Structure 1
Amino acid sequence: MVHIMDLTPEDTARIQQVTKLLVEGFSVNHADAWPDMNEAAQEVEELFAAGRISRIALAEDGMVLGWIGGISQYDGRVWEIHPLVVDVNYQGQGIGRALVRDLEELVRQRGGMTITLGTDDEYDQTTLSGVNLFPDPYIHIARIQNLKRHPYEFYQKLGYSIVGVVPDANGIGKPDILMARSLVR
């Protein structure tokens, strides 16, 4: 059974585990996201600022299995999921889903109405990668296909919709896929 709780700045042992999760979890498909422990530690530290949420999923023995962050936007009406990572050895077991649902409930309690996220495609995982999405990115979005286990389908299963794309956000042919879910509709 997984237990979800706040990650606090005083919990240095778990911060170290989360930092390691970021480096390892994103090294497979996002090698430059957090390439080392220092950059990952900076990311974790930023989630302790005001208007942010930092939650961890723990195994029964206290090991950190996953981490999710939430960033308040639009005066708290909208929150961004950033980041979400689950230990590669525990993916597919509902931990990511549990973290997202937990964050959604906290956002609801704080008056949030919408949750957004960006999920980059830097490694040709979807049909949006490697192509010129201009002049009409919506045609490409309507025809999106998952080629290599891109996480957008994970979020779709949780009720998130693709609401846009930022073409070339990470370089030519490397878009950021924008997704959102209403918490009030």
Structure 2
Amino acid sequence: MTVVIRDMHTLTMDSHEQAAHLLHAGFAEHWPDAWPDVDSAMEEVLSLLEEDCICLAALDEEGEIVGWIGGLPEYDGHVFELHPLVVQSDQRGQGIGRLLVLALEDHARQAGANAIMLGTDDQNEMTSLSGVNLYPNVWEHISNIQNYKNHPYSFYQKLGYTIVGVIPDANGPGKPDILMAKSL
């Protein structure tokens, strides 16, 4: 499939609604509390259409959104937070997510950023960091991380991102947020 990356600021409200539906559906299986309904997903889309944010969509040949990514400026614009990234479930593994991340990195670099950071939650034992007490040896657990169920941290590692920390109980006991970053 051929996709083209477009700035979502230039797309129509129909496209924004399509992005909201994709966000809600894309996180429903593993992270259902992230955007529990389409309205909350639409709020997320609209928040990323603020002037200083990056919001990019991957469009297929028919102009339908098959994935999208957001970037939030942090630390006075020196860093952008990658949040969120979603690809239509039947299109995953075809390079769309990779294209979106690379496009976000380019836009962040052009905006003067030095790095990209992200958090990728593990709420349902997809890695060896979930379902256990990570204290007091947090870094030992991180250095021995194992991916049990195709957790996204491996995808980001392939794109040059490094685990820079973890918030052990960010989503409740034994449900960490894995923090990653990449220098631009």
| Matching residue's letter, 2:43 | Q
| Matching residue's letter, 1:114 | A
| Matching residue's letter, 1:172 | P
Counterpart position of 2:128: 127
Counterpart position of 2:100: 99
Please show how residues 19-38 of structure 1 align to structure 2 within 5 Å: 19-38=20-39
TM-score, normalization by structure 2: 0.97
Counterpart CA distance in 2 for 1:110 and 1:147 is: 36
CA contact (8 A) 1:9 1:45 kept: no
Counterpart CA distance in 2 for 1:51 and 1:10 is: 17
Give 1:27 deviation, angstroms.
Answer: 0.7
For the pair 1:163 / 2:158, whether they are aligned, the reply is no
Counterpart CA distance in 2 for 1:60 and 1:82 is: 25
Counterpart CA distance in 2 for 1:120 and 1:51 is: 25
Give 1:10 deviation, angstroms.
Answer: 6.1
Give 1:51 deviation, angstroms.
Answer: 2.0
For the pair 1:74 / 2:71, whether they are aligned, the reply is no
- Unaligned 5+ residue runs, structure 2? none
Counterpart CA distance in 2 for 1:10 and 1:116 is: 26
What is the RMSD of the two structures over their aligned residues, measured on CA atoms?
1.0
- Once the two structures are aligned, what percentage of the paired residues are identical? 54
- Unaligned 5+ residue runs, structure 1? none
CA contact (8 A) 1:9 1:48 kept: no
Alignment coverage as a number of residue pairs: 183
Render the CA deviation track for 1:96-129: whole Å, top value 9, x for unaligned.
0000000001111111111000000001000000
Render the CA deviation track for 1:30-63: whole Å, top value 9, x for unaligned.
1111111111011111101232111000001101
| Matching residue's letter, 2:116 | I
Q: Secondary structure at the match of 1:8?
A: helix
| Matching residue's letter, 1:117 | L
TM-score, normalization by structure 1: 0.97
